[in-house]
Chain A
Amino acid sequence: MMGIPAGLDWDWSTAADVLPTLLTQFLKVTLLVTALGTVIAAILGLVIAMAMRLAPRPIAAAVKWIANIIRMTPIIIQLLFAYYAFLSLDAITVGVIVFGIHYSTYMSEVYRAGIDAVPRGQWEATTALSMSMRRTWMAVIIPQALRATIPALGNYAISMFKDTPFLLVIGVVELVNAGLIYGGNTYRYIEPLTLVGIIFLLASYPTSLLIGRLEKRLAYNT
């Protein structure tokens, strides 16, 4: 720890030089993958949660174990596997699909809890009204189960956002990778990597505050 060597401290012109590249990759890759991945996770998570409840027991058990394995192993391994298994797909597409599937295993647990929390009287009422299975789920159970899951979905979207740098293992130039490439070309890592950290903080902290408020509002109204 010798103090800051001369000429290696913060340089504003470097920062100004790298910032446009970082912001472009942030919008074009990081946010895109997060948004599409969240949509896939939200839909697939519900499918998994319903499969675990409605499918015949052996299928439900298989779905549960596969979901457990995906949830408990690193997304990096899954990205590498999918990338090499589907070489015809480009890396961003692989990234969106893998992130969507990985996070759907978390979302399915949220939906499961939401479905379990729908009062028994609601199920009995659908029977009393002789609603079809389809109508029971679509008109009664899912709308009530979804309400409690919205904040959790938001929190997982933020987690996914902060996990997007893992995409660099399959060569996607997202925010962190863009910073590393700039650093590799110019030997200046301080500005790009610090800016990357600041961009992450500026994007995720206000969003998490908003979700916290949403969570409180939804909780009080039920």
Chain B
Amino acid sequence: MDDKFAAVGEAMPRLLEGLRVTVELTILGAIAAFILAVILGLAAASPTKVWRIPARVIIEFFRGTSLVVQIFWFFFVLPLLGIDLHPLVAGVLALGLNYGAYAAEVVRGSIQSVPSGQWEATTALSLGPVQRMRRIIFPQAWALMIPSLSSLLIHLMKGTAIVGYITLADFTFQLDQVKRVSGTLFTYGIVGMLGYFLFALLLTLAMNLLERQAKHKLGQGTSLRRILSPAPAPTTRAGGIQ
């Protein structure tokens, strides 16, 4: 038992380095996916075919062709076509396009489920299309889409574990190296599962806070500042922390 802890302790610097790569890929991939999801989601929710059809084709293409295929395609095929990508760029691009396509469906669905009264009100107030989306529709859709985006973020984080195969030394890659040296399963079974699980919990927590804040901005629930402040919440106030 002591050997296992000793082996892991010795390997700690490289495990942490691997975890850094995993965190980096997750965050960069999530940013890429989010930007893409908003663009594609808005286009897919558009009433004009010129926007909607290309968006649908891109979404179905990247949802239909498996993340792993896309990662290897960017890594092996693009250089042959004269486009050399750094492995990190290839990884972020594949994660962004794949999960961006899934998230675009979430964005589209949320925009379309904002009550029609809200859309009609913007017409009554003669708001332009940009103002309507930015000030009225998107803030409400945003609160609706966070729970689904949160579970997609966990999927994206789990998907990063394949990047060892395109020469990136992520957490899984380093765990595998430690396993080869120490020969015990302790690294995968405990260190690996626990490392990823804690990261996933942190991501979920962050997304939950984001949801609270989005709802607060719509006038529902307490503000993030109040939740995070060490002072006890006032108990007399209606709608305080339960």
Contacts and interface: CB of A to CB of B under 8 A. Distances in A.
B71 to A, nearest CB: 9
B172 interface: yes
Contacts of A3: 82
Report, as a range, how many residues of chain B touch the other chain.
Answer: 35 or more
B200 A73 contact: yes
A222 to B, nearest CB: 20
Interface in A156-202: 162-163, 165-166, 168-169, 176, 179-180, 183, 189-190, 193-194, 196-198, 200-201
A197 B197 contact: no
A215 to B, nearest CB: 14
B166 to A, nearest CB: 11
Contacts of B201: 72
Interface string A195-222: 0111011001100100000000000000
B172 A165 contact: no
Q: Chain B binding site: helix, strand, loop or mixed by DSSP?
A: helix
Interface stretch (A46-54, A56-64, A80-88, A131-139): A80-88
B55 interface: no
Given A201-B61, A201-B65, A205-B60, 19 more contacts: A4-B81, A72-B201, A73-B192, A73-B197, A73-B200, A76-B161, A76-B162, A77-B175, A166-B68, A168-B165, A189-B76, A190-B77, A190-B81, A193-B72, A193-B73, A193-B77, A204-B64, A205-B64, A208-B64
20 contacts: A1-B82, A1-B83, A69-B193, A74-B172, A76-B172, A77-B172, A81-B188, A81-B193, A84-B179, A84-B188, A85-B189, A165-B69, A176-B66, A176-B69, A179-B72, A180-B72, A190-B77, A193-B72, A200-B66, A201-B64
